[in-house]
Amino acid sequence: MESFSDYYWAGRKGHLIGVGGVSMSPLAEVLSEAGLVITGSDLRDGANIEHLRSVGIKVFIGQKAENIPEDTEFIVRTAAARDDNPEVAEARRRGLPVFERTQAWGAIMKDYRNSLCISGTHGKTTTTSMCTHILMAAERDPTVMIGGTLPLLHANHRVGAGDTIVMEACEYYNSFHAFSPTVAVILNIEKDHMDFFKDLEDVKASFRKFASLVPPRGFIIANAEDPNTMDALKPLDRDIFTFGMNKGADVYAANIQRHGSETEFDVIYCEEVFTHVNLRVPGDHNIKNALAASAAAICLGCSPAAIRYGLAGFAGANRRFEFKGKFNGADIYDDYAHHPRELQVLLDAVKPLGYRRVIVVFQPHTYSRTKEFFNEFVEQLKRPDFCYLAEIYAAREKNTLGISSADLARELPNGQFFADNAELEKTLRAVASPGDIILTVGAGDVYRIGEKLLEN
Number of H helices, E strands in the chain: 15, 21
124 is catalytic: yes
Of 64, 59, 55, 30, give the one whose Cα is nearest residue 45.
Answer: 59
Q: Within 13 Å, how many C-alpha atoms sit on residue 191's CB side?
A: 14
78, 102, 125, 132: the active-site residue: 125
- Can you tell me the distance from the alpha carbon of 252 to that of 254, in angstroms, rounded to the nearest whole number? 7
Residue 243, C-beta contacts closer than 8 angstroms, at least 6 positions apart: 221, 222, 223, 224, 249, 250, 251, 252, 288, 291, 292, 294, 295
- What order do you get walking across the sheet with 219-223 strand by strand? 155-158, 143-150, 164-168, 114-119, 183-186, 219-223, 241-244, 251-259, 262-269, 272-279
Beta-bridged to residue 164, according to DSSP, are: 114
- Can you tell me the distance from the alpha carbon of 446 to that of 165, in angstroms, rounded to the nearest whole number? 32
DSSP letter at 261 equals T
Where do the H-state alpha helices sit in 213-256? 227-233
125 is catalytic: yes
DSSP assignment string, 315-356 = ---TTSSEEEEEETTEEEEEE---SHHHHHHHHHHHGGG--S
List residues with catalytic annotation.
124-125, 168
